[in-house]
Structure 1
Amino acid sequence: MRLSFATGLAVLCLATAALAGPPEEPRVLNDIPKIGRPGGELRSLIGRPRDTRLFFAYGHARLVGYDLKLELVPDILASYEVQDGRIFTFHLRKGHRWSDGEPFTAEDFRFYWEDVAQNPELSPTGPEVVLLVDGEKPKVEILDERTVRYSWSKPNPLFLPAIAATTSLEIYRPAHYLRQFHKRYADPAKLDQLVKETRSRDWVQLYLRKDRLDDFDNPDMPTLQPWMPTTAPPAERFVAVRNPYFHRVDETGQQLPYLDRFILVVADPKLIPLKTGAGETDLQARHLAFKDYTFLKESEERSSLRTLLWPEGRSAHLALYPNLNAKDPVWRKLFRDRRFREALSLGIDRETLSQYLYFGLARPSNNSLLAESPLYRKEYGERCTAYDPDAANRILDELGLKRRGSGGVRLLPDGRPMELVVETAGEDAEQADVLELVRDQWQEIGLKIHTKPSEREVLRNRIFAGETLMSIFYGIDNGTPTVAMPPKDFAPTSQADQPQWPKWGQYHETRGEAGEPPDLPEAKELLDLYQQWERTADPAGQRAVWERMLDLYTQECFTFGLVENVRQPLAVRANLRNVPEEAIFNWEPQGQIGLYRPDTFFYDK
């Protein structure tokens, strides 16, 4: 049988593991619940081949990462220093190697900065925005083979959180591997031949197909993660094997990861709960929902899996987003009036939502913070969550919306019925069930709603164009922020992630080239505060900005959070150890399970 280059390399690495090993200065994990033993494989089900990126998310090796207390610590780096919030000096581990055995050095940082981030063909929009401070690029200095320094004239508090994120900023590349695909280094004839062989459009497309650091779909590309890929797409089963040069060890000096192989198997997302119940996975959370919990518990004897329930980490499981940039001038004016938003929020009975859909386990939410965040205050979390239809009706009357038409539906100032469509991405039945209950509750205050599902991309375009008046989607992704994390979710900073003000978010993202500047005083103040945080390196100053933003944001009811603390089922092979019994489940910054270090998971028998 003839082995592919990638498979042969993987076999060779495993066979010569005794010749490999961690760096001379490994990262020692002293808080592993139970010291494990090497061996075994872990299977998990995914809904599409693109989800190979989960190898990167679950591996969760970062230059600087979060510990379990969400404090920043060196991980891939041996250490780092920060001066005045603007000078960052990174020290690499002595003897650290890529998964193919080649040294990991400062050259890998230089290559990325000079030949990728600043190459106009590979990066036509320039370096990542978090690498720019008021448009200023960093000064990147290679001090020696294991020391790199980034500096700006002003503080850059976005830098380290971006590096530590699940969807992280990766400021290095395996230069020794990628040079062969780069016009600056490759032999022109060989490069042309590679372009033809791979049917690439040009050298740029060839390079981008090979540079897959966080996509994990190029098995020839070296990695620093705990497992390295061996399977190239197209495939239905993606196998990653242990990286023989991984930098972490347990307190006995045993190199991690314990597990030899991590396998992702593609399946129809609708069938994943059934396949989990049949025991066709060893660790599963993706494509499982709270509604699957009873079935999974009943299947435990057959599947040999135990079912855990982890609290979700979003600020709200679901939220309603009135479009403050709506094209319709009447609705736009109403949505921009805090009193109108407050009235709609008062008309939602969140406790009933919890009882009917989540067995009473979920809590009312306003889409701001969870109590687990060190920034949480009770007044922040409880604003805009009360249910008081009498007060809601009174406010709407005071706004001049007393007149009612057929069925008790109020009339808008221009005489139209106060009737709107709440649009959804149509990806699950849960949103429709929630809207059914909300529809009945809002009927009591004279607002009639309809539900319209769309493809996610179609819905986003309608929101951007102002055609969608209101949408339902997940709440703010990170419900447990710390002072050191940027408060971008509480100001108009994103077009795609903030459907309540897409044009204002687009204006910020494009630096004024598209969209509209915020013209609502409170939204403008939130953006000014966020930009103040960006210029602040002092933790006390950052906290002050955070607190003012949270105080203002939660008073304004910009979005209508519904419930929080919806539980995420996690099906775990019965003898798989070091998986927490309960932990926050979220993409940012937890990486779903990545923060809890799957490299320390092992089988007891």
Structure 2
Amino acid sequence: MPADPPEDTDRTGPSSTALTFDINQTRAPMAIDPAILASRAFTQSPMWDREVNAGLLPPVSDRLPPNPRVIIPFKEIGTYGGRIRRAITGDIVQVPATMKAKDEGLLTFSHPMGDSIEPNLAERWEFKDGGRELYVYIREGIRWSDGHPFTADDVLFFYNDLLFDDDGRPLDRSVIPSAYQVGGKPIELEKVDDLTLKFSADKPMGRILYGLASHDIFALPLHVYGKWHPRHNPNATYEEFRQRATRAQFLYTEGNPTLAAWRPVQWVRGQRVVYERNPYYWKVDTAGNQLPYVDNLEFTVIPEKQVILLKFMNGELDLFGRYSQIDMFQTLKQAERETGNFTVHLSGPTPAQVFYLNWDAPDPMVRQAFRNRDVRVAMSIGLNREEISQLLFYGFMVPAGHSFYPPSPFYSEKHFKRNSEYDPGRARDLLEGAGYRDTDGDGVREFPDGSPFEFTMDIVSAGGTRDITELVTSHWADIGIKANTFAALRDIIVPRRYSGEFELHYWWYDGADDPLQDRFEWAITGPNQPYWHPKAGEEGPPWLHEATRAMELAATTTDPDTLRKYMIIARDLHTNEIPAIPLGAAYRVWGANNRLGNIPEDVSFGETHGAWGRPLTHEQIFVRQ
């Protein structure tokens, strides 16, 4: 990590740990020949030749839009055919894995590092009225995979009739993305014409481009789903629409039209999801070949991460990263040397795990303790993060406290490191000073009512979470705090998080590298938010209200200096108050079978960018002949 700047300045540029990727190293052309675009001399997969020749499918020149999106392959021009084989631990609960592999937004983060925003389904955009209006111009001629035109109506249908319709919004969308709200009010969306969208708000929309570039769905085919929505069919019911419009139903149901590179053709519940190339996909490479290169994208349901690891090393899976853990690094490297069938990569560091304290815990004694800053500091400096790094991350974790993490432009090493030093003596002093003492000598401090200072950690039972929580439990026991563990499946743990039933929740440190994008984790953005303090609107401390105001002002400006000013205020408040207790920033291990081409050496694991899956850009990956 770079050294801190002098005290009278503040480091707000990207850290030296920010990831980089040089597309200039590719062997593919850096631009498409204008003659290809002018003559419409595109190439298609041989998979479609028979249907085109039989008149069942239009020629590729007619299927592509007048101005297709041109993708520069990471390494070289690929070849057609084959399949990409991946695994997911569940189909319904792991919808994000498939979504991040293939879905498309109006805009997109640059791949594979996510360091800029680029056109995608939309070919351009422009702000007006000081950022209070945003006009987005959809790429002409894009079609859904069934050949039906994609227009502004599909976006409005999703936005107005699903996302902001309380009756139509499915249960898997419990939180409306903060990027589409300004000052607690929804950003208005209207249709200018079939290819033009107008977003408007009474304040500048400083974060909307980030929302439009996210990996989540942002359009729903009106010509298919309209018949199930009461606003478009008086005989329809909201109950049926909500069931059909979940991410899983939309992404997995056979025959559903898509704008992605592959369309769903098989869903065997609890076993596999299979996708086939989309004949109307609207991207080409710089040689004029319609993407994707690969015919099929397949996801096999394998509940156990260790089984996924073994199948990857045995050559039965092509990509391994979503479920990788750093303690798998040595095993992967050894198998890489022995077989030569795959390549292991390290990316990062990115935010690792965190212990979210429930400031509104049902137990009043736990609630009182967690709202005490000295207790939170003691719990943080009572963790031996260096030991955790060496024993469980093989030294690939950088210890850190609660703050903004790299590659955030508002990262500062001084803040990043604060309250992360291991100092059990000071931790004990802080707890003593806060009135938590061990009066009966049993090694556990007492709450003011005389009961033991203890709480329960919620953890997902799969993976290596037990190793970390067992080590952390011993660290806290050393300073007189007893931590119990409740381990269960993700389907049980996640609902407990949003219902407020937990006391301490162990999870990924969401948004630490881009807090403004995920500010519902960092600020009071609505009822029951943030989930670690659902009563913050009424009972939240002054610093959290101040941080919320700062982040709201940052989100409603298009001026970089104003953005920096308010984000530094929010960063400093959060760093000082330490509402949650993270471990640090860890490097991520991942791998790719050597039969695949166009695999980058490095990718972003940032959740905002699509967390490894989308940055890989599956549509430009090919299977070597």
TM-score by length of 1: 0.83
- Rate the CA distance shift 1:114–1:489 in 2: closer, same or farther, 3 A: closer
2:192 to 138, 143, 153: 143
- 1:533-558 residue CA offsets vs partner (Å, 9 max, x unmatched): 34333232222111111111011121
Matching of residue 42 in structure 1 with residue 121 in structure 2:
no
Distance in 2 (alpha carbons) for counterparts of 1:65 and 1:386: 38
- Comparing 392-401 with 59-68, greater Cα deviation is found at 392-401
1:502 aligns with 534
1:472 aligns with 506
1:378 aligns with 413
What are the within-5 Å matches in structure 2 for residues 389-404 of structure 1?
389-404=424-439
Distance in 1 (alpha carbons) for counterparts of 2:455 and 2:343: 38
1:519 aligns with 540
1:592 to 612, 615, 620: 612
Matching of residue 491 in structure 1 with residue 523 in structure 2:
yes
Q: C-alpha displacement at 1:290, in angstroms?
A: 2.5
- Rate the CA distance shift 1:113–1:297 in 2: closer, same or farther, 3 A: closer
1:159 to 187, 208, 221: 208
Tell me if the contact between 1:304 and 1:573 (Cα under 8 Å) persists in the aligned partners: no
Q: C-alpha displacement at 1:357, in angstroms?
A: 1.1
Distance in 2 (alpha carbons) for counterparts of 1:120 and 1:595: 32
2:386 to 333, 337, 351: 351
What are the within-5 Å matches in structure 2 for residues 204-223 of structure 1?
204-208=238-242, 210-211=244-245, 215-223=250-258
**Secondary structure, counterpart of 1:341 in structure 2:** helix
Q: C-alpha displacement at 1:377, in angstroms?
A: 0.8
**Secondary structure, counterpart of 1:425 in structure 2:** strand
**Secondary structure, counterpart of 1:228 in structure 2:** strand
- 1:99-155 residue CA offsets vs partner (Å, 9 max, x unmatched): 122222233335445655676753599995654545655554433332222222322
Distance in 2 (alpha carbons) for counterparts of 1:136 and 1:490: 18
**Secondary structure, counterpart of 1:502 in structure 2:** coil
2:19 aligns with none
1:175 aligns with 222
- Rate the CA distance shift 1:497–1:255 in 2: closer, same or farther, 3 A: farther
Distance in 1 (alpha carbons) for counterparts of 2:367 and 2:247: 43
1:272 aligns with 308
Tell me if the contact between 1:173 and 1:213 (Cα under 8 Å) persists in the aligned partners: no
Distance in 2 (alpha carbons) for counterparts of 1:469 and 1:388: 24
Tell me if the contact between 1:59 and 1:225 (Cα under 8 Å) persists in the aligned partners: yes
Q: C-alpha displacement at 1:59, in angstroms?
A: 1.6
Q: C-alpha displacement at 1:520, in angstroms?
A: 1.5
* C-alpha RMSD of matched pairs (Å): 3.5
- Comparing 134-143 with 34-43, greater Cα deviation is found at 134-143
What is the identity, as a one-letter code, of the residue corresponding to 2:136? F
**Secondary structure, counterpart of 2:78 in structure 1:** coil
**Secondary structure, counterpart of 2:484 in structure 1:** strand
Tell me if the contact between 2:400 and 2:416 (Cα under 8 Å) persists in the aligned partners: yes
- Comparing 265-274 with 340-349, greater Cα deviation is found at 265-274
- 1:337-358 residue CA offsets vs partner (Å, 9 max, x unmatched): 2222212222111101111112
1:555 aligns with 576
- Rate the CA distance shift 1:453–1:590 in 2: closer, same or farther, 3 A: same
Instruction: State how many pairs are aligned.
Output: 567
- 1:316-364 residue CA offsets vs partner (Å, 9 max, x unmatched): x222233222344444333222222212222111101111112222111
- Rate the CA distance shift 1:404–1:432 in 2: closer, same or farther, 3 A: farther
Q: C-alpha displacement at 1:599, in angstroms?
A: 0.9
1:263 aligns with 298
Distance in 1 (alpha carbons) for counterparts of 2:284 and 2:298: 22
Matching of residue 76 in structure 1 with residue 121 in structure 2:
yes
1:33 aligns with 75
What are the within-5 Å matches in structure 2 for residues 299-448 of structure 1?
299-300=335-336, 305-311=341-347, 314-315=350-351, 317-417=352-452, 419-428=453-462, 430-448=464-482
Distance in 2 (alpha carbons) for counterparts of 1:369 and 1:546: 10
2:262 to 227, 240, 246: 227
- Rate the CA distance shift 1:280–1:413 in 2: closer, same or farther, 3 A: same
Matching of residue 539 in structure 1 with residue 581 in structure 2:
no
Give the gaps of 5 or more residues in structure 1: 1-7, 192-201, 508-516
- 1:60-84 residue CA offsets vs partner (Å, 9 max, x unmatched): 4210111134322211111111122
**Secondary structure, counterpart of 1:310 in structure 2:** strand
- Rate the CA distance shift 1:43–1:134 in 2: closer, same or farther, 3 A: same
1:61 aligns with 104
Tell me if the contact between 1:297 and 1:306 (Cα under 8 Å) persists in the aligned partners: no
Distance in 1 (alpha carbons) for counterparts of 2:403 and 2:512: 7
Q: C-alpha displacement at 1:228, in angstroms?
A: 1.2
**Secondary structure, counterpart of 1:379 in structure 2:** helix
- Comparing 534-543 with 347-356, greater Cα deviation is found at 534-543
- Rate the CA distance shift 1:380–1:118 in 2: closer, same or farther, 3 A: closer
Matching of residue 576 in structure 1 with residue 596 in structure 2:
yes
What are the within-5 Å matches in structure 2 for residues 181-192 of structure 1?
181-182=228-229
Q: C-alpha displacement at 1:444, in angstroms?
A: 3.1
**Secondary structure, counterpart of 2:80 in structure 1:** coil
Distance in 1 (alpha carbons) for counterparts of 2:515 and 2:434: 38
**Secondary structure, counterpart of 2:104 in structure 1:** coil
What are the within-5 Å matches in structure 2 for residues 85-96 of structure 1?
85-96=131-142
- Rate the CA distance shift 1:293–1:129 in 2: closer, same or farther, 3 A: closer
- Rate the CA distance shift 1:327–1:49 in 2: closer, same or farther, 3 A: closer
Q: C-alpha displacement at 1:458, in angstroms?
A: 5.2
TM-score by length of 2: 0.81
- Rate the CA distance shift 1:97–1:361 in 2: closer, same or farther, 3 A: same
Give the gaps of 5 or more residues in structure 2: 1-46
2:3 aligns with none
**Secondary structure, counterpart of 2:609 in structure 1:** coil
What is the identity, as a one-letter code, of the residue corresponding to 1:290? I
What is the identity, as a one-letter code, of the residue corresponding to 1:422? T
Q: C-alpha displacement at 1:496, in angstroms?
A: 8.2
Distance in 2 (alpha carbons) for counterparts of 1:541 and 1:579: 38
Give the fraction of aligned pairs with identical amino acids, expressed as a percent: 27
What is the identity, as a one-letter code, of the residue corresponding to 1:247? W
Q: C-alpha displacement at 1:522, in angstroms?
A: 1.6
- Rate the CA distance shift 1:137–1:256 in 2: closer, same or farther, 3 A: same
1:197 aligns with none
What is the identity, as a one-letter code, of the residue corresponding to 2:317? T
- Rate the CA distance shift 1:337–1:48 in 2: closer, same or farther, 3 A: closer
1:249 aligns with 284
- Rate the CA distance shift 1:450–1:141 in 2: closer, same or farther, 3 A: closer
Distance in 2 (alpha carbons) for counterparts of 1:389 and 1:38: 59
Tell me if the contact between 1:323 and 1:468 (Cα under 8 Å) persists in the aligned partners: yes
Tell me if the contact between 2:380 and 2:401 (Cα under 8 Å) persists in the aligned partners: no
Tell me if the contact between 2:125 and 2:136 (Cα under 8 Å) persists in the aligned partners: yes
